[in-house]
Structure 1
Amino acid sequence: MYVGIMHYAAPPVVGGVESVIHSHAQCISHGGHTVKILAGRGETTDARCPVELLPLLDSRHPRVLNVKAALDTGTVPEDFTPLVEQIRRDLEMALTGIDILIAHNVASLNKNLALTAALYQISQKPNHPQIILWHHDLAWTTPRYQPELFDGYPWDLLRTAWPGVTQVVVSEERRKEYSTLAHLSPEVIQVIPAGIDLEEFLGLNRQVSQLCSQLNLFQAAPLLLTPVRITKRKNLELAIETTAHLREHLPSAQLVITGPLGAHNPANQEYLKKLVSLRKMLGMTDHIHLMAEHIPDGLEMDSVAGFYRLADALLLPSREEGFGIPILEAGIAMKPVFCSDLPPLRALAGPWAKYFSPDDKPGKIARLIAQALTESPVYNLRIKIRSAFTWEAIYQTRIAPLMNRVL
């Protein structure tokens, strides 16, 4: 389908709604649809999501500002109707061939009421695109806008349920407000939140992004990180067995062991085979990931840092350590540390890590990890966001189904 996305401005203009429409355009395009952004200001930053500029959509266009100055005093100026007509003609041309138009804040804020009126007129004509009014902010329920709003046309368009359109708000609180304002049943107002682009926000490079997609790491809860080489003194059997037991408490737990084979001992190849065999025996092939199998020469340094940003905790079950660089890295990355109670590690982590003996039963260590994470507000919020508030999740579970329903 051909989807139009409309707002007063588009990226690279900086703003919350501008960020959202950029993410919407990316998701819809990745979903296999054709996308065009309609805005008064901005420029094309991705060839797959071109921006078509219609200057009179801009809330800061001089003509729009002149009209708004009069409207803000309760006066409908002479130029209002001609401006509405000009915007309507411009929009009708730009909407040719578009199946769905998603209009952000146009029907809920008084930034450009001529645009609001023009879109309303289009929505009431036959053969118009299916229109989704996406409300982030509501002028009529926000005190700072009250002095600029008056009874009657065109201000009432911002508190009227337009016939034949789909209403979307960004939160349950907005649904309550808009339901009361527009005298609509809450059931007919869709709630679709904003989200984050996990890969972009965490600064994951291409190597990590590809591995995460290939290994389903974004769905891990938790994702444990063991950033060491494959060598026997790192006691990696314990990390693998602990993760298997942890899944009894946290069924989506996964583990990433980042390092390649240790560089100076030929026996490390046999050790890797032993770890792979153990993983298979435990039925954990899809949940425990040895990067030595995927990137034999080792991850890029930036990739290791990316895994720290993505991971939920450090698991370091070594039998011996001379220093413990992963403790430093985890501390800077603000990750909880679960590690062997070795003097060098305790000297670094002090009272701020959870310790266990490298000879402890994996079930005991798993219970330690499960308790600490499930009691952590930071961990629980991270998992909530990763599962429900990434743009990919929002698109798949909410935006795509909505587009299919309205069309």
Structure 2
Amino acid sequence: MKETIGILHFTAWPVAGGVEMMIASEARALLDAGWTVRIVTGRGDAIDGAEHIVIPEMLPPSRRDDVNAPDEDSVRRLSALLARALQGCGQCWVHNILTVDLHPGLTVAVQRLVDKETDISFVNWCCDLSAASAFVDGAFRGWMIEWLTTQSDLEHVAISHVRRHDLACALGVNPDCIPVVSPPCDVLEWFGLHPGTRRLCDALDLLQSDIVVLVPAKVLPHKHLELAVEVGAELQKLVRLGRVLVSGGLSPHETERSCQLRETLLRLISTSGAENTVHFLADGEGSYLESRVVRELIGIADIVLLPSFEEGFGMPLMEAAALRVPVLCSDIPAFREAAGQSVRFFPTDASSGVIARMALAIAREPVNADRRRALGSFATFTAGVTHVASRAGVAAPAS
């Protein structure tokens, strides 16, 4: 079974650039799905779990006039180094080397490998395209496309529909035959999330959920957490995957009362059938989430829900505002005092169905829907990456 996928580019992370970031995401997605990954670049650091081979000759020459005519000896050396680096790979994903005229010697070396290596399926990942750029000298545009048009068995992937259109026009093919896999926002890395937050994201599929509602409240009667549970039960009827997360633990001052209420709430979760939606994150007496984890969960949430009957103030409203996360809360004086202009209120006797629909409407407002799309983009990207890997002929190892 062919299980190793080689990834080629001029450079790898931490060299700053969109392609380098996407390659890191590709590697993580493939590794998580069970493939072995080998990254081959001219510069960069290793990615946890992936093999990494550095071939300095893959770096583009610093002077543009040095790239007009590839030196045959250099091409042969690069071909040999690449062939050795890719031994055992079932696929080779080539990023920009076949479409961007930065290092013609490397391009020719890869072209020869494609022509020669019958045991490797090559995939041309088109992130940039010299043939479509107004900033590339016309003398440098055509020769790469001429070779690509002769490669009927070469798979192509574009990072956007715009780039797919550019590549299809250059090759004279139907755009529909070129899949689009757009780079993700790798939230776990971009936010630098705490390990505890990462575990919750993975365990509860928070980044793939349709809506995440965070209730940052301790388990006390005046917090009206019964309503949060009932809202979770209603959301189950409205979305494919919803989450209502209660981040506060038991009260250290009223432990017995808090424990009794928690048991009541757990029974309510069970009787309402909301076990998959409503989750108490601080489990047991003396258990609390770190403030950093709570802050990161607010940043991931679509809505902060505060259903209290009474409060002395409303600090979570300010914390959510600082992170630009919408707040939906009961209409009580303390929340009115702490709230800004964007907070949405509901009467203290509002039904859970009304509040659930309010929450969903807020989550679907354009700016909030864009956040959710970005948060879920890595899952979408992973599906695209694994589809490309399977389509090109490498099956994931059996788990």
Please say if residues 11 and 18 of structure 1, whose CA atoms lie closer than 8 Å, have aligned partners that are also in contact: yes
Amino acid across the alignment from 1:313: I
Structure 2 gaps of 5+ residues are 394-399
Please say if residues 224 and 313 of structure 1, whose CA atoms lie closer than 8 Å, have aligned partners that are also in contact: yes
| C-alpha displacement of 1:346 | 0.6
Q: Does the C-alpha gap of structure 1 residues 310 and 372 become closer, same or farther in structure 2, counting only changes over 3 Å?
A: closer
Matched, 1:84 2:75: yes
Matched, 1:50 2:51: yes
Q: Which residue of 1 aligns with 2:66?
A: 67
Tell me, in whole angstroms, the C-alpha distance in 1 between the residues paired with 2:59 and 2:139. 18
Q: Does the C-alpha gap of structure 1 residues 158 and 382 become closer, same or farther in structure 2, counting only changes over 3 Å?
A: farther
Matched, 1:103 2:89: no
Matched, 1:212 2:213: no
Residue of 144, 163, 166 corresponding to 2:135: 144
Matched, 1:130 2:121: yes
The superposition leaves residues 113-152 of structure 1 with CA deviations (integer Å, 9 ceiling, x where unpaired) of 111111111111253411111000111111001344265x
Aligned length: 390
Tell me, in whole angstroms, the C-alpha distance in 2 between the residues paired with 1:352 and 1:26. 38
Please say if residues 211 and 302 of structure 2, whose CA atoms lie closer than 8 Å, have aligned partners that are also in contact: yes
Tell me, in whole angstroms, the C-alpha distance in 1 between the residues paired with 2:37 and 2:27. 6
Amino acid across the alignment from 1:323: F
Tell me, in whole angstroms, the C-alpha distance in 2 between the residues paired with 1:367 and 1:43. 47
| Counterparts of residues 234-313 of structure 1 (less than 5 Å) | 234-265=223-254, 266-293=256-283, 297-313=287-303
Tell me, in whole angstroms, the C-alpha distance in 2 between the residues paired with 1:249 and 1:258. 23
Please say if residues 134 and 167 of structure 1, whose CA atoms lie closer than 8 Å, have aligned partners that are also in contact: yes
Please say if residues 10 and 58 of structure 2, whose CA atoms lie closer than 8 Å, have aligned partners that are also in contact: yes
Residue of 10, 13, 28 corresponding to 2:12: 10
Tell me, in whole angstroms, the C-alpha distance in 1 between the residues paired with 2:304 and 2:96. 43
Q: With CA pairs under 8 Å and 6+ residues apart, which has the higher RCO, 1 or 2?
A: 2
Matched, 1:316 2:283: no
The superposition leaves residues 15-43 of structure 1 with CA deviations (integer Å, 9 ceiling, x where unpaired) of 11111111212222222222221111223
322-331 or 242-251, which moves further after superposition?
242-251
> TM-score scaled by structure 1?
0.90
Structure 1 gaps of 5+ residues are none
| C-alpha displacement of 1:176 | 1.4
| C-alpha displacement of 1:161 | 4.9
Tell me, in whole angstroms, the C-alpha distance in 2 between the residues paired with 1:227 and 1:7. 45
Matched, 1:329 2:330: no
| Counterparts of residues 172-211 of structure 1 (less than 5 Å) | 172-211=161-200
Please say if residues 220 and 253 of structure 1, whose CA atoms lie closer than 8 Å, have aligned partners that are also in contact: yes
Tell me, in whole angstroms, the C-alpha distance in 1 between the residues paired with 2:296 and 2:208. 16
Please say if residues 109 and 139 of structure 1, whose CA atoms lie closer than 8 Å, have aligned partners that are also in contact: yes
Amino acid across the alignment from 2:121: Q
Tell me, in whole angstroms, the C-alpha distance in 1 between the residues paired with 2:93 and 2:285. 43
Tell me, in whole angstroms, the C-alpha distance in 1 between the residues paired with 2:198 and 2:180. 29
Percent identity over the alignment? 27
Matched, 1:35 2:24: no
